[in-house]
Amino acid sequence: MSGTSELVGRRKAPLATPSGIEPEAVEDITGALNALLADVFTLYLKTKNFHWHMSGAHFRDYHLLLDDHADQIFAITDDIAERVRKIGGTTIRSIGHIGRLQRIPDNDSEFVTPTDMLSELREDDKALLSSMRAVHALCDDAGDVATASLLENWIDQSERRIWFLFEATRS
């Protein structure tokens, strides 16, 4: 029996990693990062969805562009989750958790024109960029320079994706 109670005790043990950041700031930053992570996963899957279902005259170019964008978006997921843990928070645990936190809408349409795909992704990337800037401000206020530094690179990547999607949709 003591083995079972020990196991239960370990399961209830806090995962609070000491970081030197005030507990209230950790809560605010981790909440914002988890919502950001949910949006990143949502944007990744939507980008892959549009990559898989691309059609039309510019198929090859758009198909490859969206594959590059998806790779770049997915690449930041682990860094976001690990920052949450490094500063003492806990991160998302399931698809359901992502669904509860995501702010970027899904697109389950049977058919979306290539131009509409690119325009929708541009707007979603703009929303993600806005969220990243808001998290950066939280990090600045809390003195979390490491997370702010990562966000600066992700902001630059988002701006580039927005630029490419904007140029691809110009008439």
Q: What is the pLDDT of residues 4-59, one digit of tens each?
A: 766 665 555 566 677 889 999 999 999 999 999 999 999 999 999 999 999 999 99
pLDDT in tens, 98-135: 999 999 999 999 999 999 999 999 999 999 999 999 99
Give the tokens for residue 21: 């950041």
d(CA 104, CA 38): 9
Q: pTM for this structure?
A: 0.90
Give the tokens for residue 46: 């939507």
| Domains in the chain: ranges and CATH | 20-169 (1.20.1260.10)
Could you list the beta-strand ranges (E) of the chain: none
Nearest to 154 by CA among 59, 94, 74, 63: 74
H-helix or E-strand spanning residue 141:
helix 114-142
